Chain A
Amino acid sequence: MISEQAKQRMRELAARYPVARSAVMPALYIAQAEEGYVSRAALEAVAEALNMTVDDVESVATFYTMYYQRPPGKKVIKVCNSISCYLRGCDALIEQLERRLGIKRGETSPDGRYTLLTTECLASCGTAPVLQVNDEFVENLTPELVDRLVDQWEAEFQTEGQSQGRSPAGAGGC
């Protein structure tokens, strides 16, 4: 379900642009933020707000990799594997993450905690290798840092499991 508030924001965006359908990308982001991915309801809401057909919205959504077609894990980890990160040893780190998370690149863990993706150059080649966790950068990766990161994520899920809503302890640093 897409909230009335979200639909209102989409309509406002449509009015902000010279042409309403220019708002399709930001509107898809709004819908995705509510549903976690671009669900059928998300497509319908965007189509209605912008006066487009659902198929038309879907054809846009499927062109861009950041609109998820199915629900991703709670933590989406994108590791750059383009040339500068490659020269700085990203492949070994990706394998390390695959081992620690128990999933291959492109997969989501069965418990829905993690999605591990490789991605194209993240405009961070000067601090390669790099990854993003839910759009936040972690730069200058080393095997030790990757281990610490996974430990930290695991700890966050632990605390979350014990008491819903309490902010995870010791999460600073990265």
Chain B
Amino acid sequence: MPELIITKHLDVPGIDRLDVYRQYGGYEALEKALREYQPEEIVELVKKSGLRGRGGAGFPTGMKWGFLAKNEPRYLCCNCDESEPGTFKDRMLMEKNPHQLVEGVILTSYACRVSTAFIYVRGELAYAARQVQRAVDEAYAAGYIGKNILGSGYSLDVIVHRGAGAYICGEESALMESLEGRRGYPRLKPPFPAAVGLYGGPTVINNCETLSTVPAIVRNGADWYASFGTEKSKGTRIFCLSGHVKKPGNYELPLGTPLRTLIYDEQYGGGILGDKKLKAVIPGGSSTFILGADKVDTPLDFESVAAAGSMLGSGGVIVMHEDTCIVDAVLRMTEFYRDESCGKCTPCREGTYWLVQLLERIEHGHGKMSDIDLLLDICDNISGKSFCPLGDAATSSITSSIKLFREEYEYHVREGCCMVGPKARKPAAAAL
């Protein structure tokens, strides 16, 4: 079992309370930082650790902090809007170890000279929000948040803000719109949040898991953190394993661990449900490209997954076995983007609607051969031509599945039914 960092104390009874969290070294990093480090030194430390964002894009965290414009006031937004299909780590971190997150928020605020921090919790996660709110309240009472924290002269306010059901609010600029009390429409970039963000001030925005990792780095040092993982992808991250595996769940592993280990090792996924054959894997949430079974030996680090043709994204590893109808699965994922498109720009709003129409037609046996290329054509008109990355994301599963499983799309058109799965007409076809 590799050493764990973020999930290490997750199952300690009572770790969600301040006293227990402190017994396990909680808030030592904050005390050390305020005593020994200037804010800029923490930025350097995190740069050196190699930590990259866990929200989706994998942007180097310390570098992001370094870009912050010098004017004040500055803000921090902690992105706990977790809603990418296949992703369920931030909810767990908030519910089980909320003080670790709160300590990360305070440390990051100190490092970036932020005076007001927001923790934006997805609306549906009511219990997680209560847990985070209680941790914040306890931290205020203990003097870790508020005026003149631990006599350091540094002051910080932390506000827990609940979303109300909108995937797009996980996109950083939409999140800021939402925090400002408006509809969650993304903003034009540039300017980037580091220059002009929340209330027009310089703003840092980081994912829940990213910030939950910061206390361990401050406590144990950059070199220690960088000793995990690979040369370029340092540290560990939580992989959310779901779909057709025997033991779905959250597994923290050093970056670079082979996908096969995550899926098949007895300590983790334990193999495919019903010992069936692996068909495909989505490695980083439903917005990332589907990989075929031949990619099962890919090391799970940023570079290797990119070389294999996808992205680590949000860490949501979705496994599909041989009985999965790829068209139906892709249809299900595309419906998500149609429903969650904010409607601001035409390619995404109209395009996702048409993608669903076409996929439905094919899935239900009314498709034409030309529909397959029409799908690709619409994807081409959305991807790179939409206002925000949600549009691109909507096309990932379609383009990658047509590339990998084109014959299955064609089968639907030709035979008028699924090639595999419960809706396949001839069970014998599945055995081919």
Contacts and interface: CB of A to CB of B under 8 A. Distances in A.
Interface in A19-49: 19, 21-26, 28-29
5 contacts: A16-B159, A29-B164, A67-B164, A126-B250, A135-B127
Given A64-B166, A65-B164, A82-B336, A125 B242 contact: yes
Contacts of B244: 87
Contact of A87 (B179, B180, B240, B320): B320
Interface in B132-168: 159, 161-167
Given A18-B116, A60-B181, A135-B124, A121 B87 contact: yes
Contacts, number: 137
B170 to A, nearest CB: 11
A120 interface: yes
Interface stretch (B2-10, B78-86, B356-364): B78-86
Given A64-B163, A83-B86, A119-B124, A128 B248 contact: yes
Contact of A83 (B85, B178, B182, B183): B85
A87 B320 CA distance: 8
A26 B249 CA distance: 32
- Which 5 A-B pairs give the minimum distances between C-beta atoms? A64-B164, A65-B165, A21-B181, A125-B242, A66-B165
A120 B85 CA distance: 8
A28 to B, nearest CB: 7
Contacts of A86: 329, 332
A152 interface: no
Contact of A29 (B84, B162, B250, B320): B162
A108 interface: no
B124 A66 contact: yes
A137 B183 CA distance: 27
A63 B332 contact: no
A59 interface: yes
A123 B90 contact: yes
A84 interface: yes
B124 A126 contact: no
Interface string B252-292: 00000000000000000000000000000010001000000
Chain A CB within 10 Å — which of B159, B163, B249 has the most?
B159
Given A82-B85, A127-B248, A132-B124, A17 B159 contact: yes
A132 to B, nearest CB: 7
A123 B340 contact: no
B88 A124 contact: yes
Contacts of B179: 22
Contact of B123 (A59, A64, A88): A64
A123 B87 contact: yes
B318 A120 contact: no
B125 interface: yes
A68 to B, nearest CB: 10
A81 interface: yes
Nearest to B168: A63
A149 interface: no
A122 interface: yes
B181 A19 contact: yes
A29 B392 CA distance: 33
Given A25-B181, A67-B164, A123 B122 contact: yes
Nearest to B286: A83
A24 B182 CA distance: 8
A66 B83 CA distance: 14
Given A19-B180, A86-B332, A120-B340, A126 B162 contact: no
A29 B164 CA distance: 9
A126 B315 CA distance: 13
Given A16-B159, A87-B329, A126-B250, A22 B181 contact: yes
Chain B CB within 10 Å — which of A25, A60, A119, A123 has the most?
A123
Interface string A59-87: 11001111100000000001001111011
A29 B159 CA distance: 16
B339 A120 contact: yes
Contacts of B248: 84, 125-128
A71 to B, nearest CB: 17
A123 B123 CA distance: 12
Chain A CB within 10 Å — which of B82, B122, B181, B316 has the most?
B181
